[in-house]
Amino acid sequence: MSQPKRILFIEDDVAVADMYCHELKRHNFEVDIAADGTTGLQKAMSGHYDILLVDLMIPKPDGMEVIKTLRGSDGLGLRNSRIIILTNLALDDKELAKMDHLIDKYLIKANTIPSKLIEEIDELPATPAA
């Protein structure tokens, strides 16, 4: 099956996390939640996740630092995990271009209802075999 099964959602807003997680679980994804960057890093490094959903505006460290830490300076870390930014922080084209080698998708929460998130996940290419 090509659809990812395990998702780590790094999100500090409980209501937002609940809303998206409900839909993800309805589509048979296993979802773990981390409410801050430190917990997100620990979970991401200690378990295999097919997808990491990362809000940029999370506490200690912020989502951008989490992504950079997980992918590494060469962008090759966690090659078997897809990273999707799911945030309300608008990045301009220049900022997004700097992140291009680190992320697989960039979504704005205000424009991404839960069913749309499922569609975006379904469009992701398969990860390389571990």
The reported pLDDT for the residue numbered 126 is 74
Q: Where are the domains of the chain?
A: 6-119
For residue 115, name the pLDDT band (cuts at 50, 70, 90): very high
| pLDDT tens per residue, range 25-77 | 999 999 999 999 999 999 999 989 999 999 999 999 999 999 999 998 777 78
The reported pLDDT for the residue numbered 2 is 53
Contact between residue 4 and residue 39 where contact means Cβ atoms under 8 Å apart: no
Quote the mean pLDDT of the chain.
91
Does the pLDDT of residue 130 top 80, yes or no?
Answer: no
Mark out the alpha helices in the chain (DSSP H runs): 14-26, 37-46, 63-71, 93-99, 114-122
Fold of 6-119: Rossmann fold (3.40.50)
Q: What pTM did the predictor assign?
A: 0.91
Contact between residue 20 and residue 114 where contact means Cβ atoms under 8 Å apart: yes
The reported pLDDT for the residue numbered 127 is 66
Contact between residue 107 and residue 53 where contact means Cβ atoms under 8 Å apart: no
Q: Which one-letter amino acid corresponds to residue 68?
A: K
Identify which has the larger pLDDT, 74 or 24.
24
State how far the Cα of 47 lies from the Cα of 7, in Å rounded to an integer. Answer: 10
Section 5-15 average pLDDT: 96
Q: Which one-letter amino acid corresponds to residue 1?
A: M
Lookup: tokens for 41: 């890093």
